[in-house]
Amino acid sequence: MLSGYFDHAAAAPPLPEAREAMLPFLGDEFGNPASLHRYGNKPREAIDVSRAQVAALINSRPDDIVFTASASESNNLAVKGFALSHLRAGRGQSPAPEAPQSGTVPGHIVVSAIEHVSVLEPARSLKKLGFDVTEVPVDSEGVVHPDKLEAAIKSDTILVSVMHASYEVGTVQNIKELAAVAHKHKVPFHSDGTAAVGRISVDVADLGVDAYTFPAMSVYGPKGAAALYLKRGTRIPSLIEGGFQEKNRRAGTEDVAAIAGFGAAAAVTRAKLPEWSANLSKLAQRIFNELPQKLDHVIFTGSMSSRVPGHVSVVVEFVEGEAMLLFLDDEGIAAASGSSCSAKTLKASHVLLAMGLPHTKAQSSLVLSLGKDSTDADVTHFLDKLPPIVQRLRRMSPLYAKFQKGEDPYAVKPGDECEEHEETGG
Beta-ladder partners of 312 = 368
Give the sign of the dihedral formed by CA 396, CA 400, CA 401, CA 404.
negative
Q: Where are the alpha helices (DSSP H) in 139-248?
A: 146-152, 175-184, 204-207, 245-248
Indicate the length of the chain as a whole number.
Answer: 426
Contacts of 299 (CB under 8 A, 6+ apart): 314, 315, 317, 361
In the set 133, 211, 341, 379, the catalytic residue is: 341
CA-to-CA separations, 384 to 178, 287, 301, 333, in angstroms, rounded: 41, 11, 21, 11
Cα separation, 267 vs 226, in Å, equals 15
Number of C-beta neighbours around residue 117 at 10 A: 14
Q: Spell 4-30 as b/e; 16+ CB within 10 A means b.
A: bbbbbbeebbbbebbbebbebbeeebe
Cα dihedral value 405, 408, 413, 416, nearest 10: 90
Torsion sign (Cα): 347, 351, 355, 361: negative
Strand partners, 135: 111
418 is catalytic: no
Could you tell me if 30 and 51 are in contact, meaning their C-beta atoms sit under 8 angstroms apart? no
CA dist 416 and 9 (Å) reads 31
Tell me, what DSSP letter sits at residue 36?
A: S
Catalogue the active-site residues.
341
